[in-house]
């Protein structure tokens, strides 16, 4: 009888742990406030769209591995000799973050995340007034490199209902310029809203 009770208790405990550690997933959308750092003068932030989804894979102790897949608009504004131009670069971005979530019970939870991302530029455009041209990503003679990578650092709050808000900074580590002597790297402030399906 005691053995049966012990097995039952262990079973309930493991069921509770498995339930608490269930994978969660969902959409995440928001805005990018993008700019570049490096040798390009007189740059300013340019707003863009960020939309995609994440998966939270439990790693124990409140930690999660969080891969995602996003459409992410980056770029920058420039003003040289009174001539203003906007550069927009559309990326398919794959981030993989380590996330720690502190459970606040009925108040939801707060979380911090850090990790890396890799991105592929699908297309881009430079626009100044009524004039515009598509960015050439082709080969060594192109205007920019197509691939980007960098680090992410984020903080957020999750409600008890699975809705969450995240503020994140993306620090580009790849030189976007095809000229190795000219440095230009993505820097992006990201503010997003998401919803998680599954047991939290």
DSSP assignment of the chain equals: -HHHHHHHHHHHHHHHHHHHT--EEEEEEEEEEEEEEES--SEE-EEEEEEEEEEEEEEETTEEEEEEEEEEEEEEEEEETTEEEEEEEEEEEEEEEEEEEEE-GGG-EEEEEEEEEEEEEEEEEEEETTEEEE----TTTSSB-SEEEEEEEEEEEE-TTSEEEEEEEEEE-S--BSSTTS-EEEEEEEEEEEE-BS--
pTM summary value: 0.84
Residue 6 has pLDDT above 70, yes or no: no
* % pLDDT > 90, the chain: 73
CA angle 34, 36, 42 (to 5 degrees): 105
CATH, residue 83: 2.40.160.20
State which residues form the domain around 44.
24-195
119 lies in some domain:
yes
Residue 140: what pLDDT?
A: 64
CA gap 113, 89 in Å, rounded? 25
Looking at the structure of the chain, the number of domains it has is 1
165 lies in some domain:
yes
11 lies in some domain:
no
Residues 107-121: pLDDT tens digits? 999 999 999 999 999
Residue 11 has pLDDT above 90, yes or no: no
Residues 168-188: pLDDT tens digits? 999 999 999 988 889 999 999
Residue 18: what pLDDT?
A: 40
Structure tokens at 133: 């041209």
7 lies in some domain:
no
Average pLDDT for 120-131: 92
110 lies in some domain:
yes
109 lies in some domain:
yes
Residue 64: what pLDDT?
A: 97
* Residue scoring higher pLDDT (138 or 141): 138
**Mean pLDDT of all residues belonging to the chain:** 88
29 lies in some domain:
yes
16 lies in some domain:
no
Residue 82: what pLDDT?
A: 77
Average pLDDT for 29-37: 97
Residue 200 has pLDDT above 90, yes or no: no
Which of 48, 133, 41, 44 minimizes the C-alpha distance to 90? 48
Residue 12 has pLDDT above 80, yes or no: no
Q: How many other C-beta atoms are found inside a 10 Å radius of the C-beta of residue 43?
A: 19
């Amino acid at each position: 009888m005691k053995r049966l009770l012990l097995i039952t208790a262990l079973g309930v405990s493991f069921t509770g742990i498995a339930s608490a550690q269930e994978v969660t997933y969902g959409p995440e959308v928001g805005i990018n406030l993008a700019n570049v750092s490096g040798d390009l003068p007189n740059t300013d932030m340019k707003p863009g769209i960020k939309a995609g989804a994440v998966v939270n894979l439990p790693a124990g102790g409140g930690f999660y591995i969080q891969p995602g897949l996003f459409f992410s608009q980056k770029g920058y504004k420039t003003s040289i000799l009174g001539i203003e131009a906007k550069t927009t670069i559309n990326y398919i971005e794959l981030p993989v973050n380590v996330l720690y979530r502190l459970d606040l019970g009925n108040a939801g939870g707060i979380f911090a995340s850090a990790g890396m991302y890799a991105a592929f530029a699908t297309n881009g455009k430079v626009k100044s007034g009524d004039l515009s041209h598509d960015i050439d990503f082709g080969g060594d003679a192109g205007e920019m490199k197509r691939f980007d990578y960098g680090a992410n650092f984020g903080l957020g709050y999750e409600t008890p209902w699975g809705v969450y808000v995240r503020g994140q900074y993306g620090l580009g580590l790849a030189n976007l310029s095809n000229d190795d002597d000219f440095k230009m790297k993505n820097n992006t402030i990201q503010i997003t809203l998401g919803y998680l399906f599954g047991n939290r």
